[in-house]
Amino acid sequence: MSYSAKIGPSILSSDLACLGSECVRMMECGADYLHLDVMDGHFVPNITFGHPMVECLRNCVGPDPFFDMHMMVSRPEQWVKPMAAAGANQYTFHLETTTNAGNLIKEIRESGMKVGLAIKPGTTVEELAPWAGQIDMALVMTVEPGFGGQKFMEDMMPKVSWLRSQFPSLDIEVDGGVGPSTIHKCAEAGANMIVSGSAVVSSDDPRSVITMLRTAVSEAMQKRSLDR
């Protein structure tokens, strides 16, 4: 088993006027990585931030924090080089946005970043499967991308279970409505990278929430290895 439990706070849920210090705070509270949502107003209705902001955050937090870029943009190939130059570590694009995923995967790798591939709730996991051997992480969206605060879609869990059974060592991320009340379903299905927004960021005690989420995933992983 080559994957591990990792918790990535979604920084879009934090006070955007204090983004740098919020990133530092999340890392100090035990986050394994930071999940940065980039939205272009085309692929999703909202607009967030781009590579200049990522570069500022990298300068603020230093070289160590791992930046997982969730690229909710209609032309992901356009931003690969700028994001790499800005200090992004992983470039997660949506399968729905490209007709040439193989080429994009190659481009991301050549720019020195890890590759994540995301699917919206309406996209089948079988459509992602042909690329699973070429990526570092699969992201199964558990809400419709573009807005925070939506209700967790439990009916996405079979996608996670299927991916885990077919690709046992793949990093599998879930994003949307994930917190203490929904983590066990994600962990049991086989997710190991957990994006959590307001449940962590808006908590009075982010450290204990992060620890609780990580423990749930670790225990489910342990159980899975014993069951095999």
Residue numbers in the known binding site for substrate are 10, 70, 146-149, 177, 197-198
Which conformational region is residue 41 in: left (phi greater than 0), alpha (psi within -120 to 50 degrees), or beta?
left
15 in catalytic set: no
Catalytic residue among 40, 68, 171, 175: 175
205 in catalytic set: no
Residue 47 bridge partners (DSSP): 40
H/E stretch holding 115: strand 114-119
Catalytic residue among 37, 40, 68, 171: 37
Q: CB burial class (10 A; 0-12, 13-18, 19+) of residue 112?
A: exposed
Pairing of strands 193-196, 137-141: unpaired
The answer to whether 7 and 183 have CB atoms below 8 angstroms apart is: no
140 in helix, strand or coil?
strand
Distance (Å, whole) CA 123 – CA 61: 35
The binding site for a divalent metal cation comprises: 35, 37, 70, 175
Distance (Å, whole) CA 113 – CA 51: 14
- Show which residues are catalytic: 37, 175
